Structure 1
Amino acid sequence: MTVHQQLDSGELSELERRYRLERERRVRPDGAAQYRTADAEFGYYAADPYTTGPDEREPRRDTVDVAVIGGGFGGILAGAHLRSRGVESIRIVEKGGDFGGTWYWNRYPGIHCDIESHVYLPMLDETGYVPEWKYAPGDEIRRHAVRIARHADLYADALFSTAVTALTWDEASETWIVATDRGDAFRATYVITATGTLTDPKLPGIPGIEAFKGHTFHTSRWDYGYTGGTPEGGMTGLAGKRVGIVGTGATAVQAVPMLAEDAAHLYVFQRTPSTVDVRANRRTTAQDVGADREGWARRRRENYLRIVSGEHTEQDLVADRWTESAGLLEKLLPSFRRHGDREAFEAGYETADAAKMNELRARVDRIVTDPETAHKLKPWYRYACKRPTFSDLYYPAFNRDDVTLVDTADTHGIERVTEDGVVVGGIRYALDCLIFATGFDVGASGIHSGRLPVRGRGGVGLLDRWARRGPRTLHGFTSNGFPNLIQLGSLQNASSVNFTHILDEQARHAAALVAAAEAADALVEPSTETEDAWLATLTEGAPDHEWFHAECTPGYYNREGRGRPNGPTAYPHGAVAFHELLARWREESLGEVLRGRADSARGTGDRPSGGRSTPGGCR
């Protein structure tokens, strides 16, 4: 069945009934509280296995022009765009041992990006690089992050294996004091935060999890010292081992086929099956993507963004399952698709959604030979309820005699962990190794979770300021009371399935704010009235998707079945429109966030080697 075939009202009603039944099997009363963060007693799950440890160095007490918190693509792109504007004194602080962010941490076997590499990897035009695969493996992506960092000369003053512990505005010097877990307390005229949403691993709060005496780790901290091999496989350390993996999301869909090849027996513990569509990965050439033409990557990336944002295009340059099903993303990524008669729109949406999901369920039946296993692997929810995944190897893995799918829906997950295994439905599964593919504390960056306290004017905390009326920003970047603090992320701006494109536009905007402030000898800080106007813009025309997510199977998209957060969280008309809005604002209204400096306010302390910035950049 294709998305173009029609379903009658009886079929739609039966699907809705089945979706509701399957949802209720999985909703837990503790919601998101079922998870534990990888800190305190579980800190070893978050330890960095990819470096021998931080290099010895003296704590920094100097002053830089711009401190960038986070060395993933957001931080790297911020540094690159700042550098292009002549800023010399840039310090990126990263808790990992190198640049890469989520691609530094995630090196599990089989790791690839789900977005086509020619639109996912930023700055291809600038670096002259053409990806080798349509969907790049993780190591190629990580190496490209390093390529951009070297291209922009960001290594010279970077601080790795270092976590920022506090940001404090000093009114006298009009600088931020940046404190870290390495004893640093340096100053920065501007701070750009790019702490990401896929860095803090989470664990299920399973009783007895600390009692397991076998080997265990989180997929974002893969222990190749134990498994052997590389992300390409060859995990000889798993020979003769009984391995369990908890979770069947995007990570497990890629890791399970590799584990199935090398473990003596693999047990896959599933609460909710993912949708798993066709991958069809292949090697590519420059000719395949038109890389012989100047600006090829930007054109391809803009074309992709327009399609997944519901905008009109004459041609689909990427032509994959994301763009084919783009219309079904509207419940997740608001766009201009909502026009005309709402009832007709919703009816058409439901029909297309049901047809697509029937297609995906039929794929399970075509591939998985055991009827009972196939039944458990079928996803019963709407397409935008969970993150779509793509693989040509995942379903065939369950045709192996040495792979067992253990469905935990009726027990609300694994019941308990013992010293040598796990228990589900009263049955104990003996294990030598237990791997958690349970994802991240999505959306909870250090600042928004409170783990990185930020204190602005008068010592007021950012979260304290937001406690009564909710987050308050202009375009998601800046907030009143917190001068020269620029936040990258998905709060109160726009998002897309290709988040590196979003980050590149955000980094470009952040660099423009810094450049404008320097040219005007001013601080970047919106007024409360400007914040009010932006919040009103977010509210006006915002779609009512609360009902949709309330009916979804529990997951991180809907706060484990509790529904989407209340209040304005995203620009309601999509990423393309948002980027156009930002460009107009920079041309016409950027001056409204610039405030004069105090005459006596200047940074203190020594600047790092490299001297002062060139004209037009930071002082």
Structure 2
Amino acid sequence: MGQGTGSSSHTLDKDALRARYRAERDKRLRPEGNEQYIEIKGLFAEYLSDPYMPVVPRAPKTDHVTFAFIGGGFSGLLAGARLAQADVTDVRILDKAGDFGGTWYWNRYPGAQCDTASMIYLPLLEETGHQPTEKYVHAPEILEHCRRIGRQFGLYDKALFHTQAKSVTWDEGVKAWRITTDRGDNFTAQFIGLGTGPLHVPKLPGIPGIKDFQGHAFHTSRWDYAYTGGDPLGAPMTKLADKRVGIIGTGATAVQCVPHLAAGAKHLYVFQRTPSSIDVRNDRPTDPEWVKTLQPGWQRRRMENFNTLVSGGYEPEDLVNDGWTDIIRNILFIASKGDSQGLTPERLAELAELADFKKMEQVRARVDEIIKDPAVAAALKPWYRQFCKRP
């Protein structure tokens, strides 16, 4: 996540902001909650298909392993790598995707990149010897790093891809976990690990008539480059040059892919329910000379530094220095102007709210700076707290 600069100069009316936030929230609340989304099955099952890798036929597994892990994203890769380092080799990793990567296997839409500093986000950088090319690396580099981990720690021979676990039950007869899958597997494991996560499953809006749409449609997590042209590296989507394109949703994914769609399409319609909070990205290339100054253990130290700061703890230096730690600095700055000794939880909550108000005022002021049409600018301003909707 990027980090903004500057601050609003006018006096904040906190009561008015709270009222505006509540009013904007109440406009958008859906009483059905998650039931507003369409279950992806039947007519919508195609949204779950894998456009990237063909399914490779194989015989079902009916053996026993020491450790089975469900999920081949960061969690599965880390578990596999640490087990390999501990000389535990009888391991199996299952994933419904065609390769390692988890959400980064599926989300290859144009512009996709991480919003946490890559030096702490990408795991096992010191162990693999890889240095991210920029502060917030793009999806192709993240996916390749996942593959790098898989290769280095010998995890590909232990993986069952395009395989979804159907059941995990304790088999008292053999004193082990029994796993069955959609590929006919029925094997046992002494230990089980779970790293499934929610981000690999597309969410479809429950819009009346969506199943009757006659044009070409796909979900951003299954991007159809054969239809749009271009590629995950950012090549122009030339096949959209004569097309009117609509995108539903303005979350973090849309913030990243809309500029690419706008550049490629004849006309782009963005269907927005809630504006996104868009701050300055402050991305930059990684300086190779700076990398040479890093001492062994640097990644663990940076991770611990980041975790301490975003948890409200104290660190003498902010080693990551991004938008996630920015609001903590704001709170500490405000506290330093008053009585920072013996802060009660209530007072700390007030300071956090004030820092949040100031940050969001900056974000809204930036909209006015960039968008010259007042009506359009008003429609793009987010009226909620910073982390209400992923920034």
> What band does the TM-score fall into relative to the shorter chain?
over 0.9
Which of 355, 374, 389 is the aligned partner of 1:386? 389
Aligned equivalent of 2:359: 356
Deviations 1:210-245 (A, max 9, x none): 100100001000001111111213111111110000
The SS at the match of 1:325 is: helix
Q: Give the letter for the 2:380 counterpart.
A: L
Amino acid at match of 1:265: H
CA gap 1:343/1:5 in 2 versus in 1, 3 angstroms:
farther
CA distance in 1, matches of 2:74, 2:308: 21
Matches within 5 A, 1:323-402: 323-326=325-328, 340-388=343-391
Aligned to 1:98: 99
The answer on whether the counterparts of 1:130 and 1:291 sit within 8 Å (CA) in structure 2 is: no
Structure 2 contact 244–268 (Cα < 8 Å) conserved: yes
C-alpha offsets along residues 567-597 of structure 1, whole Å, 9 cap, x if unaligned?
A: xxxxxxxxxxxxxxxxxxxxxxxxxxxxxxx
Deviation at 1:4, TM superposition (A): 8.8
1:355 positional shift: 1.1
The CA deviation string for residues 387-435 of structure 1, in whole angstroms up to 9 with x for no partner, is 11xxxxxxxxxxxxxxxxxxxxxxxxxxxxxxxxxxxxxxxxxxxxxxx
Asked whether the 8 Å contact 2:8–2:361 carries over to 1, the reply is no
- Which residue matches 2:58? 57
CA contact (8 A) 2:359 2:386 kept: yes
Gaps in structure 1 of 5+ consecutive residues = 330-336, 389-619
CA shift for structure 1 position 23: 1.4
Task: State the match for 2:199 in structure 1.
Answer: 198
Structural mapping, 1:271-286, within 5 Å: 271-286=273-288
The 2-side partners of 1:185 and 1:67 are apart by: 12
Distance change in 2, residues 1:370/1:326 (3 Å): same
**1:103, 1:141 within 8 Å by CA — same for their partners in 2?**
yes
Change (3 A) 1:57 1:322: same
Shift of 1:291: 5.4
- Equivalent residue, structure 2, for 1:174: 175
The alpha carbon displacement at 1:197 in A equals 2.1
Is 1:20–2:22 an aligned residue pair? yes
The alpha carbon displacement at 1:157 in A equals 2.3
Match of 1:435 in 2: none
1-structure distance, mates of 2:364, 2:175: 58
Contact 1:177 1:187 survives alignment (8 Å) = yes
Deviation for aligned residue 1:341: 2.2
The question of whether the paired residues in 1 share the 8 Å contact of 2:53 and 2:98 is answered with: yes
Query: Normalising by structure 2, what TM-score?
Result: 0.92
Query: Structure 1 CA distance, aligned partners of 2:297 and 2:17?
Result: 46
| Matched position secondary structure for 1:375 | helix
How far apart in 2 are the matches of 1:37 and 1:79?
A: 32
2:75 aligned with 1:78: no
Q: Displacement, 1:311?
A: 1.5
Aligned residues: 379
Which residue identity lines up with residue 190 of structure 1 in the other structure?
F
Distance in 2 separating the partners of 1:37 and 1:136 = 32
1:290 is displaced (CA, Å) by 5.3
Partner of residue 322, structure 2 = 320
1:257 to 256, 259, 281: 259
Q: TM-score, normalised by structure 1?
A: 0.59
Query: Take 1:67 and 1:280, find their aligned partners in 2: how far apart are those partners?
Result: 40
1:123 correspondence with 2:124: yes
The 1:169–1:142 alpha-carbon spacing in structure 2 relative to 1, beyond 3 Å, is: same
Q: Aligned partners of 1:306 and 1:4: how far apart in 2?
A: 28
The answer (yes or no) to whether the contact 1:168–1:176 under 8 Å persists in 2 is yes
Displacement of 1:5 after TM fit? 6.6
The answer (yes or no) to whether the contact 1:105–1:220 under 8 Å persists in 2 is yes
Residue 207 of structure 1 corresponds to which residue in structure 2?
A: 208
Q: Distance in 1 between matches of 2:318 and 2:299?
A: 14
Displacement of 1:292 in angstroms is: 4.1
Residue 335 of structure 2 is matched in structure 1 by none
Instruction: Sort the Cα spacing of 1:185 and 1:99 in 2 relative to 1 into closer, same or farther, 3 A.
Output: same
Aligned partner of 1:308 in structure 2 is 310
CA distance in structure 2 between the aligned counterparts of 1:342 and 1:69, rounded to whole angstroms: 40
Does the aligned pair in 2 maintain the 1:110–1:233 contact within 8 Å? no
- 5+ residue gaps, structure 2, are 332-339
Change in 2 beyond 3 A, CA 1:343/1:157? closer
Using the TM superposition, give the Cα deviation of residue 208 of structure 1 relative to its aligned residue in structure 2, in angstroms: 0.8
Following TM superposition, by how much is the alpha carbon of 1:308 offset from its aligned partner in structure 2, in angstroms?
1.4
Q: Could you tell me whether the CA contact under 8 Å between 1:338 and 1:345 is conserved in 2?
A: no
Q: Residues 286-297 of structure 1 correspond to what in structure 2 (within 5 A)?
A: 286-289=288-291, 292-297=294-299
1:233 and 1:258 in contact (8 A); partners too:
no
